[in-house]
Amino acid sequence: MKWYPTSRVNDPTQVMPKLRAGCAIGLGLLLASFGGCFAFASGRHDTGAMIFGGLLALVGFLVAGGGARVFVAHSAFHSVALECSTPTPLGGKAAVDLTLAPKKPLTLGPGSKLVLECVEEAVYSAGTDRRTYSEVLHTETLPLQLPSTLSDLHTAKLEVPIPVDVPPTWSGSSNRFYTRVVAHIDIVSWPDLALEARIEVLPEVKR
């Protein structure tokens, strides 16, 4: 299952991505503290417990580090948005709007790109146990042309081609199919920014 530290569609104030990043930082530090205390309390007499505590602390630091990267990446912008409000049929081109408003001039690297993914999610329930599994059925990397320097508000209208052989958007009681596009913004000497938008894909019309 893939996880992207992304900003969702209509959230130009960036409240939700920063809130999620803050929660990740807090959870990561809590896990790291608990793991460290557990390993320290185990002493040298229980090697297995020390290893478990150390691994838990490592996972905590990784989670906190990921959240910190998201928070720092968004802190360089007044507002950001990636939007796709028009349904697109299979084989068509989705109209995606990108908005970036930096707080100060930023130098962009050559690694910016768009990643198109079709995802299937399935929910399995057994008693009180409820789990969600995710599988990427199709992935495609597309070029993203941006200026070398962002000094002011930048808007771009992007066209994202939708393959004809991916499932259209559909949601059932226990599983669903959806298509998303993730814009990866390569910022020099700064954590990269990732923005996500869902695309409503309609079935292909046979004529």
Domain boundaries, the chain: 15-75, 80-202
Token duo for residue 41:
């309390």
Mean pLDDT, rounded, of the chain:
78
Q: pLDDT at residue 54 above 50? A: yes
Q: pLDDT at residue 206 above 70? A: no
Mean pLDDT confidence for 143-154: 92
Can you name the residues that pair with 106 across neighbouring β-strands?
150
In CATH, the architecture of 80-202 is: Sandwich (2.60)
Band (86; pLDDT cuts 50, 70, 90): confident
The crossing angle, in degrees rounded to 10, of helices 47-75 and 15-42 is: 160
Evaluate whether 10 touches 143 at the Cβ level (below 8 Å). no
- State the pLDDT at residue 111: 92
Distances (CA, A) of 156 to 48, 143, 183: 54, 13, 12
Q: Which residue has the higher pLDDT, 173 or 66?
A: 173
Residue 6, number of CB atoms within 10 A of its CB: 19
Distances (CA, A) of 107 to 12, 38, 110, 149, 186: 21, 44, 10, 5, 9
State how far the Cα of 53 lies from the Cα of 157, in Å rounded to an integer: 49
Q: pLDDT at residue 107 above 70? A: yes
Q: pLDDT at residue 57 above 70? A: no
Distances (CA, A) of 32 to 41, 43, 53, 55, 129: 14, 17, 9, 9, 26
Give the whole-number percent of the chain exceeding pLDDT 70: 65
- State the pLDDT at residue 189: 84
Q: pLDDT at residue 149 above 90? A: yes
State how far the Cα of 21 lies from the Cα of 16, in Å rounded to an integer: 8
Band (123; pLDDT cuts 50, 70, 90): confident
- State the pLDDT at residue 190: 83
Mean pLDDT comparison of 10-14, 69-73, 97-101, highest-scoring range: 97-101
- State the pLDDT at residue 9: 38
